[in-house]
Chains A and B, each alone.
Chain A
Amino acid sequence: MSTLTQAAPATPAARETTYAPIPLSRIMRVELIKMFDTRSGFWLMASIGIAAVLATAATIIFAPESELDYEAFATAIGFPIAIILPIVGLLSVSSEWSQRTGLTTFTLLPNRSRVINAKLLVAVGVGVVSMFLAMAIGAVGNIVGTAIAGVDTTWNVSAKELSLIVLANVLGMLIGSMLGVVIRNSAGAIVGYFVYNALLPTLFMTLGNLQDWFHDLWPWVDFAYAQGALFEGDPSGQDWAHLAVTTTIWLVLPLVVGLFVIRKSEVK
């Protein structure tokens, strides 16, 4: 039984608020800052830089002179970025739950879909920019490396190949963010990330090589296999179809389900 002491006063009419709604651009800017201002964000970025330098050095030292070209440098530098950067996207989402910052984030921005959308857009942007950065560093490595080795500098990556690699990287960032959305726990999502990138491709490869019935099905279900075509430089129509189907299964569907759950779930 509640009180009999005081009757509740009538609710006042909804007040006019003078505050403007928060624009998406501002949410994106805040989310970009949040991606890199933590210690884990900083060290992930630093590890990418360190890995890129080591990869460039290793290419100069170990690659045969005949293979010392732009492709070698761009690949060497792009590889650590493609592995590590999706974890930045992943943590950007999962840390809202694991670090419990969501309590503040989602009270300042009650529309959770907008927050997640901003994170996804930022992840795409970071994916694109970082790849261009990798290419720029690769170009420097190519000029310096070939000068040291005393061979001709070759530019053998076409604009089309570059854009395909950027696309692959963007997909990687979205996979990371999606795992953050679906699992909402940093440790669990990172495990999920390695399952996606290491366990599932191995499993499919074993299955594809051992089971005849699976062999034809393989490219339609193996996301990593389908993404591989992007690195080959010239995907066919069927390669694109493989990519579209696997992206739907492994990225779009889980993301849609995850977004739906996030809108309803309790933030504690």
Chain B
Amino acid sequence: MITVDSLTKRYRGFTAVDDVSFVARPGRVTGFLGPNGAGKSTTMRIMVGLTDASSGSATVLGRPFGQLPNPGREVGVLLDASAQHAGRTGREILAIAQRTMGLPGSRVDEMLELVSLTERESERRVRNYSLGMRQRLGIATALIGDPEVLILDEPANGLDPAGIRWMRDLLRGYANKGGTVLLSSHLLHEIEVIADDLVMIGNGRIVAEGTKAELLHAAGTVVRTGAAAELAQALRNAGLVVTIAEDGALRTEAPADQVGEIALNSRIALTELRSSDNAGLEEMFLELTAETQREGAAA
């Protein structure tokens, strides 16, 4: 279980993470989705105590990360597979984690086998590893303490399709055994195949959150109004599930005629009412991505 509560991180003149709250539950894979620079990595670094939050809090298994007595036994972390001493072998890197956590030496071989790094590859220095091999080594380091919670930043980067499938099966099995998995990605389709729950972030704010089924596959309605909060309340009063996008559009699984009727009864004027074509999340994601790309080009 990971609980993020009103987390905010301000740097001089810009807010990287803006009032982010969500929960990653045990037994589920939570996908943390957003374009590059949206604040995913900063949020994850705050979770594991590498960066201080400006306000708000993040707890893992009910405690701030820094208060875990032996964090590697409870939380497996992979933030950047390339952040390893290039002059060490894969085996040496695993051995450091194994010794720090106080585990038996046999765990190193077990992990190497789990992530399919051969004996010979494990004796090579990380300088000579491909990104995919580094990711496997990073996942091995995260899993070596047999933790209950996994926090993985872009773990599929550099993996080939077979590798991505392997990781999907690994994380699925892990969650099925009751583990909590939070993984980030900037690729919607990558997350789509792995995650049960989705948290989408753009410009430091959460723009959508819910189960994958709700967000991706439910046919539903997109509705816009000048009084979004009131309409959302009215729809929820009617027992509907509602998501508010950053641009103010509401999405719900209910059909358009029902939404229109509720709006009429609540005397709320609509500016747009249409059936969504299952692609709401993707559209939203593309908008976000396009926005950051424009900013990137202008800079």
Residues of A within 8 A of B (CB): 1-6, 8-9, 11-15, 17, 19-22, 26-27, 29-30, 33-34, 37-41, 95, 99-104, 106-111, 264, 266-268
**Which of B59-67, B112-120, B262-270 is the interface stretch?**
B59-67
CA distance A144 to B23 in the complex (A): 71
Query: 3 closest pairs, A vs B, by CB?
Result: A100-B83, A3-B209, A39-B87
A22 with B102: CB separation less than 8 A: yes
Contacts of A13 in B (CB 8 A): 62
Q: Does residue B236 face the partner (Cβ distance < 8 Å to A)?
A: yes
What are 17 A-B pairs with beta-carbon distances under 8 A? A2-B21, A4-B242, A5-B209, A15-B63, A19-B68, A22-B100, A26-B100, A33-B96, A99-B85, A100-B84, A101-B85, A104-B83, A107-B48, A107-B77, A111-B66, A266-B51, A266-B52
Known contacts A5-B241, A5-B243, A15-B61; A38/B208 CB under 8 A: no
CA distance A1 to B229 in the complex (A): 10
B80 with A11: CB separation less than 8 A: no
CA distance A1 to B68 in the complex (A): 32
CA distance A12 to B209 in the complex (A): 21
CA distance A25 to B83 in the complex (A): 25
CA distance A17 to B72 in the complex (A): 13
Contacts of A6 in B (CB 8 A): 209-210
A8 with B3: CB separation less than 8 A: yes
Known contacts A26-B102, A266-B52, A267-B50; A104/B71 CB under 8 A: no
Q: Does residue B184 face the partner (Cβ distance < 8 Å to A)?
A: no
Beta-carbon contacts under 8 Å, B36-92 to A: 45, 48-52, 59, 61-63, 65-66, 68-75, 77, 79-80, 82-88, 92
B86 with A99: CB separation less than 8 A: yes
Q: How many inter-chain residue pairs (CB < 8 Å) link A and B?
A: 147
B84 with A15: CB separation less than 8 A: no
Contacts of A100 in B (CB 8 A): 80, 82-84
Known contacts A19-B74, A108-B97; A266/B50 CB under 8 A: yes
Contacts of A3 in B (CB 8 A): 206, 208-210, 243-244
B50 with A30: CB separation less than 8 A: no
- Interface secondary structure of A, over-half rule: loop
Contacts of A108 in B (CB 8 A): 71-72, 97, 100-101
CA distance A59 to B144 in the complex (A): 51
A15 with B97: CB separation less than 8 A: no
Closest Cβ of chain B: how far from A263's Cβ, in Å? 10
Contacts of B25 in A (CB 8 A): 9
Contacts of B20 in A (CB 8 A): 2
A14 with B92: CB separation less than 8 A: no
B63 with A5: CB separation less than 8 A: no
Q: Does residue B129 face the partner (Cβ distance < 8 Å to A)?
A: no
CA distance A9 to B3 in the complex (A): 9
Residue among B45, B50, B77, B141 facing the most chain A CB atoms (10 A cut-off): B50
CA distance A33 to B79 in the complex (A): 23
Contacts of A99 in B (CB 8 A): 83-87
Contacts of B49 in A (CB 8 A): 106-107, 110
CA distance A94 to B210 in the complex (A): 42
CA distance A186 to B258 in the complex (A): 65
Say which size band chain B's interface belongs to: 35 or more
A103 with B50: CB separation less than 8 A: yes
CA distance A1 to B79 in the complex (A): 27
B84 with A109: CB separation less than 8 A: no
Residue in B closest to A5 when the chains form the complex, CB atoms: B210
CA distance A12 to B84 in the complex (A): 35
Residue in B closest to A106 when the chains form the complex, CB atoms: B50
B96 with A30: CB separation less than 8 A: yes
Residue in A closest to B26 when the chains form the complex, CB atoms: A12
CA distance A100 to B132 in the complex (A): 18
Closest Cβ of chain B: how far from A2's Cβ, in Å? 4
Beta-carbon contacts under 8 Å, B132-169 to A: 141
A34 with B96: CB separation less than 8 A: yes
A38 with B88: CB separation less than 8 A: yes
Contacts of B22 in A (CB 8 A): 2, 8
Q: Does residue B1 face the partner (Cβ distance < 8 Å to A)?
A: yes
Contacts of B1 in A (CB 8 A): 12
Q: Does residue B125 face the partner (Cβ distance < 8 Å to A)?
A: yes
Known contacts A17-B74, A33-B96, A107-B49; A12/B62 CB under 8 A: yes
B87 with A40: CB separation less than 8 A: yes
Known contacts A29-B99, A267-B50, A267-B51; A110/B71 CB under 8 A: yes
Known contacts A104-B141, A107-B49, A264-B52; A30/B84 CB under 8 A: no
CA distance A251 to B208 in the complex (A): 52
Residue in A closest to B49 when the chains form the complex, CB atoms: A110
Residue in A closest to B98 when the chains form the complex, CB atoms: A30
Contacts of B82 in A (CB 8 A): 100
CA distance A39 to B88 in the complex (A): 7
Closest Cβ of chain B: how far from A19's Cβ, in Å? 4
B243 with A4: CB separation less than 8 A: yes
Q: Does residue B287 face the partner (Cβ distance < 8 Å to A)?
A: no
Residue in A closest to B59 when the chains form the complex, CB atoms: A11
A5 with B102: CB separation less than 8 A: no
Residue in A closest to B66 when the chains form the complex, CB atoms: A110
CA distance A95 to B102 in the complex (A): 23
Q: Does residue B214 face the partner (Cβ distance < 8 Å to A)?
A: yes
